[in-house]
Amino acid sequence: MRGMDHADDRELVTCTPEGDLARQAARALVGEMLRTGWWMLPVGLVVIALAAYAVVREPVVVAVLLAVAVAVTVPFTFWDTARRIRRLAPEGAYAAQLRATELWLRTPLGESSVAYRAFSRVRRSGDVVLLRQRGTSVTFVVPAGLFPGGLLDELRARTDAAAG
């Protein structure tokens, strides 16, 4: 690991998440999907309603089907997201360091350095931080404990400055 050789580098921060990181991450990601993809739910419901009405021609049955679709879809999406995260991101220690031009991360899966300009959005959601990759739908999820004090605000500032 590299030492502090640049004036703009910050101290290395490490943490081991408490609780179920996959569940916390799933809650944040599903919430993000509902906020940013809000239009998908009404469109999906209209498609379901039209298909159901074409088959049964009973408005009450269509209303019940829509209610069941909503009641099942959101919890299933949460459960499936948490399951996938558990499989892809094992529990363990995390570390982060704000460097001059990049964010250095160490997760249980390995290390990476990502240029600040690669992130379009940095947002805290509960006990996790969501790092949205610019121009894609990829979102990195890391424990919020990696950014104590003003480090999260500094990460946002560096990301905004790098975007130009």
Q: Rounded to whole angstroms, how far apart are CA atoms 139 and 137?
A: 6
Q: What is the pLDDT of residue 133?
A: 92
Q: What is the pLDDT of residue 4?
A: 43
All CATH 2.30.29 domain ranges of the chain, comma separated, are: 13-18+92-163
Contact, 139 vs 114, CB < 8 A?
no
Q: What is the pLDDT of residue 143?
A: 93
Q: What is the pLDDT of residue 119?
A: 95
Query: pTM of the full predicted structure?
Result: 0.72
Any idea which residue has 């690991």 for tokens? 1
Q: What is the pLDDT of residue 134?
A: 92
Q: What is the pLDDT of residue 104?
A: 96
Per-block mean pLDDT, blocks of 10 residues, the chain (164 long): 56 85 83 71 74 79 78 82 78 91 92 95 92 88 92 95 87
DSSP helix/strand/coil, 129: strand
Q: What is the pLDDT of residue 72?
A: 82
Q: What is the pLDDT of residue 95?
A: 95
Q: Topology of domain 13-18+92-163, per CATH?
A: PH-domain like (2.30.29)
Strand segments, DSSP code E, in the chain are 13-15, 94-98, 102-107, 110-115, 119-125, 128-133, 139-143
